[in-house]
């Protein structure tokens, strides 16, 4: 006897993901377990008075006559490690991914001077929460009409503006790992760091190529995402915050695959290698947002017992022109 429609639906990816779904508020609450201190410090920032998230220096945002933030004096640059600390079994120590310097031992420059940084920048980096929390600029799928019981993975690449990390590229893939939407996004404020080594975005990417405003991207996504759509991602709350988008059917791979240390999060790169036998984020040109989104899809397909590893020729994929 042929399977009924309901039986077929119960076997679908959409239905199998139901136990993993969390609301926007639940995902934010989970994230705050790791970022409560950072969020508290961000809440104290004002439009002018800030604390740098890279070097912890307290500073004042100063603008020139054109409303552009003034760079730091060459003698007082922001000094920091651009990579994250991690435990290296080869070194037998916790080191920074950027330069392999020990977190606990002195770091020496080529001149033999003891330093606690390997990178400098002519701007401090901080987040002004007021920029991301403007209710008038936040959109929600709860108010969108229609239905779309589909599964999508979302990933954004960020650059740093005077107000924090803003979205500069967004990619959406469906459950078959096909890119259904992708767009470069023009940040609303002055960019102080393209963080190209992570984002893959350059000044030319945003100035010379096709690029949409955040409002245009929001309008596009609300055509695709409905209140019954499942969205997934890795720390997806950060992506939604940068898009100023609210949605209440979320699957976050940070929550699904918790770190054994309650105070830490597993990286997507580690999860891909451990669970999928796949090495991602290995290129020097920055992260591939489509690759990261596909990794989330495959992690969850494997988690619920479905086939995964859909290798797609990205050059032939349809990219939405909504």
pLDDT at 137: 94
Question: What does the pLDDT look like over 186-239, one tens digit per residue?
Answer: 998 999 999 988 888 888 888 888 999 999 999 999 999 999 999 999 999 999
Q: Measured between alpha carbons, how far apart are the two ends of the chain, in Å?
A: 42
Please, how many CA atoms are within 13 Å of residue 276, restricted to the half-sphere of its CB?
A: 27
Reply yes or no on whether the pLDDT at 184 is more than 60.
yes
Residue with tokens 């603008």, as numbered in its chain: 63
State mean pLDDT over 152-167.
95
Q: Is the pLDDT of residue 181 over 90?
A: yes
Q: What is the pLDDT of residues 4-51, one digit of tens each?
A: 444 455 559 999 999 999 999 999 999 988 888 888 889 999 999 999
**Domain annotation for the chain: domains and CATH numbers:** 5-38+129-316 (3.30.420.10), 54-121 (no CATH)
Beta bridge partners of 174: 152
| Residue-level pLDDT at 285 | 57
């Amino acid at each position: 006897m042929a399977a009924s429609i309901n039986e077929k639906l119960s076997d679908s990816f959409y239905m199998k993901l139901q136990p993993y779904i969390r609301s926007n508020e639940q995902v934010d609450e989970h994230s705050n377990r790791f970022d409560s201190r950072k969020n508290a410090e961000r809440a104290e920032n004002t439009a002018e008075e800030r604390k740098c998230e890279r070097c912890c220096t307290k500073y004042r945002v100063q603008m020139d006559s054109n409303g552009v933030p003034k760079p730091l004096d060459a003698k007082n640059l922001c000094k920091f490690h651009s990579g994250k600390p991690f435990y290296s079994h080869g070194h037998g120590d916790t080191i920074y991914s950027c330069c392999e310097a020990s977190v606990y031992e002195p770091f020496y420059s080529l001149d033999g001077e003891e330093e606690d940084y390997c990178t400098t920048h002519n701007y401090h980096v901080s987040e002004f929460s007021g920029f991301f929390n403007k209710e008038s600029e936040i959109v929600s799928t709860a108010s969108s009409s229609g239905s779309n019981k589909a599964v999508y993975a979302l990933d954004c690449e960020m650059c740093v503006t005077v107000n924090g990390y803003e979205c500069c590229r967004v990619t959406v893939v469906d459950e078959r790992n096909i890119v259904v939407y992708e767009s470069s996004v023009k940040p609303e404020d002055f960019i102080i760091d393209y963080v190209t080594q992570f984002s893959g975005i350059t000044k030319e990417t945003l100035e010379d190529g096709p690029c949409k405003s955040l409002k245009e991207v929001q309008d596009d996504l609300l055509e695709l995402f409905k209140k019954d759509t499942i969205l997934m991602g890795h720390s997806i709350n950060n992506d939604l915050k940068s898009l100023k988008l609210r949605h209440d059917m979320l699957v976050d791979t940070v929550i699904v695959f918790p770190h054994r240390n309650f105070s830490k999060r597993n990286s997507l790169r580690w999860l891909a290698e451990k669970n999928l036998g796949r090495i991602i984020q290995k290129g020097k040109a920055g992260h591939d947002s489509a690759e990261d989104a596909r990794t989330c899809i495959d992690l969850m397909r494997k988690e619920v017992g479905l086939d995964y590893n859909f290798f797609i020729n990205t050059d032939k994929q349809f990219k939405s022109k909504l």
